[in-house]
Amino acid sequence: MAKPSPTTPGNHSQIAKVRQLRKLSNLLDNAVRVPGTSYGVGIDPLLGLIPGGGDFLGGLISVYIVFSAATMGLPRETLTRMASNIVFDSLAGIVPVFGDLFDVAWKANSKNMDILEGHLESPKVSKSADRWFVFLLLGGLTLFVIVIAALGFFVISLLVQILQFIIPG
């Protein structure tokens, strides 16, 4: 039997959750439209400008979206794709300035919402990821976000030290 679409009348709570997650994703990736274009920029790249803490906060919100997808019964493969978007985004975010510019274009949270909505609208039946897999995936992803945020803070500190050495003050 096929999964009902998230727009099926019996799925009001799931519809509300997907809408909430889409709003959160849009805030992070597309909050403000660039004048004269259909392109949006969210607060995620701005958060990334805060050494360490911004990447951490943005990463945790991204992990929350994956967690919510897991509670909706998405399979391992789909959750892994979503997690890989966050990993890729976080790795690029380590590089000062470039990482924030990359964030403007990559939009990991929007990609993950497209994956989530695509799965929920698919008539294909799939087995939900088991609890241990979800626990390990989310735990590993959270630990990764923490390490990347710390590494980002370290890179900024190192750059400041190099600049102080080059330009004595």
How many structural domains are present in the chain?
Answer: 1
Q: Give 47-66 pLDDT, tens digit per residue.
A: 877 776 788 888 999 999 99
What is the reported pTM? 0.84
In a domain, 2, yes or no: no
In a domain, 4, yes or no: no
- Measuring CA to CA, which residue among 6, 23, 125 is closest to residue 65? 23
In a domain, 134, yes or no: yes
103, 93 Cβ separation under 8 angstroms: yes
Q: Give 83-131 pLDDT, tens digit per residue.
A: 999 999 988 877 777 888 888 889 999 999 999 999 998 867 788 999 9
In a domain, 61, yes or no: yes
Q: How far apart are CA 47 and CA 39, in angstroms?
A: 19
Partners of 33 in beta bridges: 40
90: helix, strand or coil: helix
Query: Per the structure block, which two tokens stand in for 152?
Result: 């980002």
Q: How far apart are CA 86 and CA 91, in angstroms?
A: 8
**Quick check: 9 pLDDT over 80?**
no
In a domain, 1, yes or no: no
40: helix, strand or coil: strand
In a domain, 109, yes or no: yes
Query: What is the span of the domain harbouring residue 88?
Result: 9-166
In a domain, 17, yes or no: yes
In a domain, 149, yes or no: yes
Residue type, 160: V
Mean predicted lDDT score pLDDT of the chain: 87
Burial degree of 77 (CB within 10 A; 0-12, 13-18, 19+): exposed
Which residues 6+ apart lie within 8 Å of 98 measured at CB? 92
